[in-house]
Amino acid sequence: MSALLLILAAYLQALSVSGWASGWAAGLQCLSLSVLMSFALKSRNLKSLALGTWLFTATWLLLSVEWIHISLSRYGGMPAPMAWLAVLLLSGGLAMYHALAICMAKRITHQASWMGQALSLACAWTLAELARATWFTGFPWGSPGYAHTDGLLKITAPYVGVMGISALSAGLAALMAVSRLRANASWSYQALTHLLLPLGLAWSPALTSLGSSDLAQTVTLLQANVDPIKKFQDGGKEEAQWYLQQMQTSSADLILAPETALAQISSREAFKDTLAQSGIPKSPQQAVIIGTMEQKGEDYANAAWGWMGGQVLAYHKQHLVPFGEFTPPALSWINQWLNIPYSNFTEGQGTRNPFVHRQHVYALGICYEDLFGEEMAKLFQANASHPTALVNISNLAWFGDGKALDQHLIIGRMRALELRRPMLMATNTGWSAVIDDTGQVTGRLPKSQRASMTLDYRGVDEPPTLYAQWAGRWGHMPLWILAAVGLFLSGLLFTRAKIPSPE
């Protein structure tokens, strides 16, 4: 019965982070995690605790990233059963962080009060999430904090970021679990924690935009909706022609095209010549950002080029996708099962500088680089001019047209909340959108359709948020320290009579 309950709770947590744009996702996430916290508090056997925690976490992660099998089987040529097995192994491997951390917390604080154990479990959960987000290149997709993009805790995003929100939600979930187990808990206390707390988390307070009228401009989003197989079979010529035609007709201040939109143009000189021959841009005031693959000797970089005031600016993607864009040397044998085009890009090096055009400063990310808020925060520290807008160009066609697209949009919204800057997103299949600095989508193209749209947005010229300041300097280290200190102090601050040690 416990296993079934944990699986159901994991399903609900996965649902809460599936890109569901509603404040109810926040309450649902906290309720579902409280089931695991209750299980951990009641457990007296470390083996069953480890298995139960692993089952919950592996199920939640599997349901959150199941779309990975599409890229492996449909586009990578891997047999479907093996692709599903690979996703299961990924989810199960990542779940080991949480199983080990929760068991460590239980072992350290087994003599603590319910409150002490709850604090230790919340800290341990936070440490596991930080490990998942950092170690082995990091893969924090499906973080519980994203469930709160439309909830009450979104107001803390500019201060603590999505990882901090995940920690806060873990603490609230642990408090809910304690209320179930306390023998002297009153009916009113139970009602407060199990009804009013989720309802309160679902409330989404309105935020005031910081957008400046001096930084108001228009942006054209281009979305070709090209199948990756077709793209690399014909060299992307038809797709490139469509993009160039759309650029020729746009009068927007900024034109934004997705990742690898001009895949057949591999040098900056060729890019410059192509734009000149096509009459792009229409004026020196117009800027263009487009994804391509820049050749570096015999290798290629996943790149973005920007035409800014008569010069070509370039950015090479620095945080590559494991197996999709590079293969760790120790796992190179996997390549015999995969046949993904251009799956070994070179990694970008050096300082990650924004693109600057007139008074506009664009903090650029490619594909899932916007998943790492602490890396985007560094752009506010390394440059004299703070970004006025965030830009992400992606090609999510590798992962189908379902959940991955919705999750990516939620990720973009959270970055806008953390950094209080508008987010401009151009993707091959969707969602291509403009998000204001309060995390609200002000316009987007229909997904899985070839389309273009010109939208208005306002850049932000304000000091960096508190999150941008500390995460830009130290990454997640402050959260690591706070969670570790909280874990080891929880047993000292909340003690009770000695009870048998879990075995």
Is residue 111 within 8 Å of residue 119, measured between CB atoms?
Answer: no
Q: Where are the beta strands (DSSP E) in 224-357?
A: 254-256, 287-296, 299-308, 311-316, 355-357
pLDDT at 404: 93
Active site residue 259: yes
User: Which one, of 376, 313, 317, 384, lies nearest residue 346 by Cα?
Assistant: 317
Same domain for 448 and 487, yes or no, is no
Note whether 248 and 280 are within 8 A (CB): yes
Question: Does the pLDDT at position 318 exceed 50?
Answer: yes
Sorted by sequence, the CB contacts under 8 Å of residue 486 that are 6+ apart come out as: 119, 120, 122, 123
Instruction: Clarify whether residues 340 and 427 are in a common domain.
Output: yes
pLDDT recorded at residue 216: 93
Is the distance from CB of 182 to CB of 114 less than 8 angstroms? Answer: yes
The residue among 503 and 174 whose pLDDT is bigger is 174
* Lowest mean per-residue pLDDT among 201-205, 328-332, 434-438: 328-332
Is 317 a residue of the active site?
yes
Q: Report how far residue 34's alpha carbon sits from residue 42's, in angstroms, rounded to the nearest whole number.
A: 12
Q: Answer whether residue 334 is part of any domain.
A: yes
Length of the chain: 503
- Active site residue: 367, 369, 403, 418, which one? 367
Least confident of 155-169, 211-225, 260-274, 322-336: 322-336
Same domain, 130 and 101: yes
188, 293: one domain:
no
Residue 185: pLDDT band with limits 50, 70, 90:
low
Dump pLDDT digits (tens) for 427-478. Answer: 999 899 999 999 999 999 999 999 999 999 999 999 999 999 999 999 999 9
> How many angstroms separate the Cα of 44 from the Cα of each of 50, 111, 501?
11, 12, 8
pLDDT at residue 2, rounded to an integer: 86
500, part of any domain: no
Q: Evaluate whether residue 188 is within a structural domain.
A: yes
Catalytic residue among 154, 317, 403, 447: 317
Q: Do 229 and 356 sit in the same domain of this protein?
A: yes
More confidently predicted of 414 and 383: 414
Please say if the pLDDT value at position 92 is more than 60.
yes
pLDDT of residue 384: 67
- In terms of pLDDT, which residue wins out, 44 or 481? 481
Does the pLDDT at position 97 exceed 90? Answer: yes
Burial of 1 (0-12, 13-18, 19+ CB in 10 A): exposed
Are 393 and 292 a contacting pair, CB within 8 Å?
Answer: no
Amino acid 454: pLDDT: 96
Confidence of residue 33 (pLDDT cuts 50, 70, 90): very high
Residues 127 and 226 in one domain: no
Torsion, Cα of 26, 27, 31, 34 (10° steps) = 60
- pLDDT higher than 60, residue 339: yes
**Number of folded domains in the chain?**
2
Average pLDDT over residues 123-149: 95
Q: What percent of the chain has pLDDT over 70?
A: 88
Whether 231 and 197 map to the same domain: the answer is no
Neighbour-count burial for 420-433, b at 16+ CB within 10 Å, e otherwise? bbbbbbbbbbbbbb
Q: Are residue 445 and residue 372 in the same domain, yes or no?
A: yes
- Both 218 and 85 in one domain: the answer is no
Per-residue confidence (pLDDT) for residue 499, from 0 to 100: 41
In a domain, 172, yes or no: yes
Helical residues (DSSP H) of 219-263, grouped into ranges:
228-233, 237-249
Torsion sign, CA atoms 355, 361, 362, 363:
positive
Identify the H or E element spanning 456. strand 451-458
- The mean of the pLDDT values for the chain is 88
Q: What is the pLDDT of residue 309?
A: 81
Give the separation between CA 329 and CA 331, rounded to whole angstroms.
5
Q: Which of 259, 369, 375, 418 is catalytic?
A: 259
What is the predicted pLDDT for the residue at 282?
83
pTM, full prediction: 0.92
3 state SS of 107 = helix
Question: 292 pLDDT exceeds 70?
Answer: yes
Nearest of 118, 117, 113 to residue 172 by alpha carbon: 118
**Does 468 map to a domain?**
no
Give a yes or no: residue 502 inside a domain.
no
pLDDT at 279: 83
The residue-averaged pLDDT of 212-216 equals 91
The count of other CB atoms within 10 Å of the CB of residue 264 is 17
**Quick one: pLDDT at residue 500?**
45
Residues 159, 235, single domain; the answer is no
Over 90: is that where the pLDDT of 503 sits? no
Q: What is the mean pLDDT of residues 19-39?
A: 91
DSSP-assigned beta bridge partners for residue 298: none
| 102 & 220 share domain | no
HSE-CB at 119 with a 13 A cutoff on CA atoms is: 20
- Summarised one tens digit per residue, pLDDT across range 240-266 is 889 999 999 999 999 999 998 887 777
501 domain-assigned: no
pLDDT of residue 373: 93
Q: Rounded to an integer, what distance in angstroms lies between the CA atom of residue 415 and that of residue 149?
A: 10
Report yes or no on 466 lying in a domain: no
Domain with 305 in it? 213-461
- CATH number of the domain to which 311 belongs: 3.60.110.10
Same domain for 332 and 429, yes or no, is yes
**pLDDT at residue 410, as a whole number:** 97
